[in-house]
Structure formats: C-alpha cells, structure tokens
Amino acid sequence: MIRQFAAVPRFGFATAAFLFLLVVGATMVRAQQPASTQPAQAQQQPDQSSSQEASEEETTRRRGKPREYKNWNFNVGGGASLTNGTTQQFVRGGGGIAAAGVARNYSKYFGIRADFQFDNLPLRTSALESAQAPGASSHAYSISLDPIINIPATKVWSGYIVFGPTYIHRSGKLDSSTVIPGSACNSFFVWWGTCFGGNIPLDRNFLSANQNEFGYNFGAGIARKVHANIEIYGEFRYLHGTHNGLTTDLRPITAGIRF
C-alpha cells in the first residue's frame, strides 16, 4: 500500500510537469508569432511600392511624350524685294511686298509650306523712257509650295530652309505711250511681254501686260519665340519664273510673325 501511495504522487507530478511545459511552449509560440509576421509584412510593402512604380511607368509610356511641335503654323509678313537678272534692268529694287503662308508640320524637323506673295515692281526711269510712258504700274503675284526643314537651335531661336516650285503671274499697265504701233520692239517691250513678231501690236494692247510663269524658289529664315505660340521671323528668298524665254527674278526680304 505504501508503495502504491508513493507511486501516485510521482505519476501526478510527472503529469503536471508535462502539462506545464505544454502551456509554456504554447505561450512562447504565440509570443513569437507577431515578430515573425512583421518581417513578412515589411517584405510585402516594398513589393506593393514597386508594383505602383511599375504601373506609373506603364501609364507614362502609354501617354507618350508631349509633342514638341505644332501641326499647323501660319505666317504673315511684309518687306521689300530686290531684283536680279533681266528684271533688274527694268525694275527698281525696294518695291514693297506682302506675304502670307501656312505650313503643315509632320515632325519637329520637316513639313510642307504653301505661300502667297505680292511684289510691287516699280519701273526704272530708263524703262519708262524706253516705253515712252509718263508712268506705269507693275506687280507680280506668286504662289509657292515647298518642303520646309526646321532647324531648332535653342528653346527660343530656330532656323529653317525652304525650296520648291513657284508660279508667278506678272502684270502691269503703262499710263500711256507715244510709241508708234507697228514699230520695232525694243528690249523693254520684249521683257514687258507685248512684242509679237518683233513689232509693237497695232491695236495698242501693248499698254497692258500679263504673263504666267513657272519656276522655282529657295530661301532661308530665322525665328525667335516671343510667346508660347508666337514667333517673329526674318526671311530671304530667291524667286525665278520663266515663260517663252521671258523671265522674272526677285529676291524678297520679309519680316513678320508666325503663330
């Protein structure tokens, strides 16, 4: 009986000790769980931020870079025209001009530009003497369609080059003339375009002249930005037109605005 009584406490003590260890172990496991989950959460945060950055980059790529040029440009200007070739023999330089144009840009560097220009062509005194006229009016209209090559230098300054075909309509009228109809033409009436078969027309149509000429033009200009969408520009061109051996050669100098 004594042995059995002594064995019971030993068994109870061992059982109690075993239960105590289980409780202590469970408590330690619970205490360690927050510490172990915190690094996992900390590791997840960088993953979330990296995914946000990736999504922002994708959005930026989809939007694309802002365009650095305008699809359309318009220009208006005025100035004076110098003369060249045969035109210089009969027309004084410095006649006033008015110009307007529009350009369709396909990139920052390339576009197509159409221009309309009016040139006043004041006749020289020697030309009026050859025409035996007290006065006259003379002018030319031109239309050009050119490729334009833009050369951006800075955010403010830029340059450009134009070249292409040109149509010129030159016309004029003598106030009067004492030339005898049917007489031989001189060099002025040949350039004036009213000499037929080497003689002055009998119907006195030589007082008025109209010519349609086709040719080419080329030139260059510089521009300075003065506002977000406005530039001032200066331009120099050479225009040449011809028809049946008759020519018109002009060198217009233009200043104006582009918008």
Q: Express as a percent the part of the chain with pLDDT over 90.
A: 70
User: Do residues 19 and 137 both lie within one domain?
Assistant: no
Dmax over CA atoms of the chain, in Å, equals 169
pLDDT in tens, 182-208: 999 999 999 999 998 899 998 878 999
d(CA 235, CA 101): 13
User: Do residues 217 and 112 both lie within one domain?
Assistant: yes
- Range of 155's domain? 72-258
Greater pLDDT, 222 or 12: 222
**Averaged pLDDT for residues 70-84:** 96
Instruction: Kindly tell me if the per-residue pLDDT of 68 is higher than 60.
Output: yes
Give the type of residue at 150: N
User: Do residues 216 and 142 both lie within one domain?
Assistant: yes
pTM listed for this prediction: 0.73
d(CA 4, CA 218): 125
CA 80 to each of CA 26, 119, 166, 254: distance values in angstroms, whole numbers, following the listed order:
100, 8, 19, 7
State the total domains in the chain: 2
Q: Please give the structure tokens belonging to residue 63.
A: 């939007």
Average pLDDT, the chain: 84
pLDDT in tens, 134-192: 999 999 999 999 999 999 999 999 999 999 999 999 999 999 999 999 999 999 999 99
**Averaged pLDDT for residues 55-67:** 56
User: Do residues 46 and 2 both lie within one domain?
Assistant: yes
Count the helices and strands in the chain (H runs, E runs): 4, 8
Distance of CA 81 to the CA centre of its chain: 25
